[in-house]
Amino acid sequence: MESFLIKGGVPLHGEITISGSKNAALPIMAATLLTGEPCVIRRVPDLSDTRFMARILESLGAEAKLAGGTLTVRARKIRGYADYELVRKMRGSICIMGPLLGRLKKARVSLPGGCIIGARPINLHLKGFEALGAKVEIEGGYIDAAARQLAGASVFLGGRAGSTVLGTANVMMAATLAEGVTVIESAACEPEVVDLANFLKAMGAKISGAGSPTITIIGVPKLHGAEHEVIPDRIEAATFAIAAAATDGEVMLRGARADHLRAVLDKLNEAGVLIQVRGGNLRVRRGKKLNAVDVTTLPYSGFPTDVQAQMMSLLALAPGISIITERIFESRFMHVSELARLGADIEIEGPSAIVKGGRPLSGAPVMASDLRASAALVIAGLAAGGTTQVNRIYHLDRGYEGMDVKLRRLGARIQRVQEK
């Protein structure tokens, strides 16, 4: 396996372009299964997850080519069966179920595997399919869903930690080809849901309300091919903004959408980070000093759980006590023990992490446990004195396009090496 070797203490300076959003691209890629006509998706990030999703599309019978950030798909004839060996490798692949059920009126998909950051149940997805008239059964590790015809219905998708993003996407995709009107209440409001809705509308779907808690879909008999450009990745933008502040550098993030990052920018500003919005770009630099702040993760438009770990690395450098409360996933503090190896003083109390910041960090070997924890360790390593080795960076390759390349462009001393 590969790791990152980081010689820290170098402020980041320069500019980078934010890649397309992974969390938007995956359901949009799945949505191409809803039509037999050609679809072209641009600004698809080159990640292990997007490459794997292209493989899943091919396994279902579609012609799929991903090259140079552009995905071309034609799913003329597809099958409704996705086996365990494919789906187990990526939880996001569950979003193929809605398109398969919508187009074929049947789907057989392996239950996705577990997740280290906590339970991510799909019961709300299945509840939505049943509301549309599908009969759903789970047996032998597979989900079977089938209906003679899907019919529009009112669906409530609120869960323990709020609305479900992939569940909203799955039900919305299935409902585009259902008879009648579907109303999704307590729908996820994330920009990625809006991006999917925009692609579906380009295919001929009739959708209104995306970006609000109530989405209305009027079913149509058929969808056609379309072209679409994926939105910029707000989590990547937040990660590089935090890295700039943590290293006391100054970075221009080209293509970052400030309107997708309000909660993050607000907390960074409170923490003493200076941010200028220039058209579609963000310029980020640290102010005179960092401040301790309290952060609580919430569904959009609140502070995203996918930026919690990175923010913790920054607050470990801020003098004073910060309290970070995780309200989305119950096990998303796996990075705390690894940050402690770099010198961070953090204690866990229930759903909160108490960060006693201001101590200098020093390099050490650390182990990444998940995608965003990996990013947090990279940020801490960039800010620490000495050398940090971040192991198991395959997590990072799932969600950050060429992170080491972009960081070197900003002056970071980081290289990809084989783990010893």
H or E element that contains 353: strand 352-357
- CA gap 360, 319 in Å, rounded: 10
Instruction: Read off φ and ψ for residue 211, nearest 5 degrees.
Output: 100, -5
Side-chain half-sphere of 287: how many Cα atoms within 13 Å? Answer: 13
- CA gap 268, 264 in Å, rounded: 6
What would the two tokens of residue 378 be? 């990279």
- Cα angle value 69/395/239 (rounded, 5°): 70
Strands in 154-156's sheet, in edge-to-edge order, are 154-156, 181-185, 214-218, 206-208
Measured between alpha carbons, how far is residue 101 from residues 148, 204, 220, 289 in Å?
Answer: 10, 18, 14, 54
Instruction: Read off φ and ψ for residue 203, nearest 5 degrees.
Output: -85, -5
Three-state DSSP at 261 gives coil
Catalytic residue among 39, 95, 115, 189: 115
Nearest to 178 by CA among 149, 154, 199, 200: 149
Nearest to 178 by CA among 124, 249, 81, 99: 99
Per the annotation, the verdict on 115 as an active-site residue is yes
Instruction: Read off φ and ψ for residue 390, nearest 5 degrees.
Output: -100, 110
What would the two tokens of residue 236 be? 């990547």
Task: Give per-residue burial for 360-369: e unless 16+ CB within 10 Å, then b.
Answer: ebebbbbbbb
Asked if 203 and 175 count as a contact pair (C-beta separation under 8 A), the reply is: no
Q: What are the catalytic residues?
A: 115
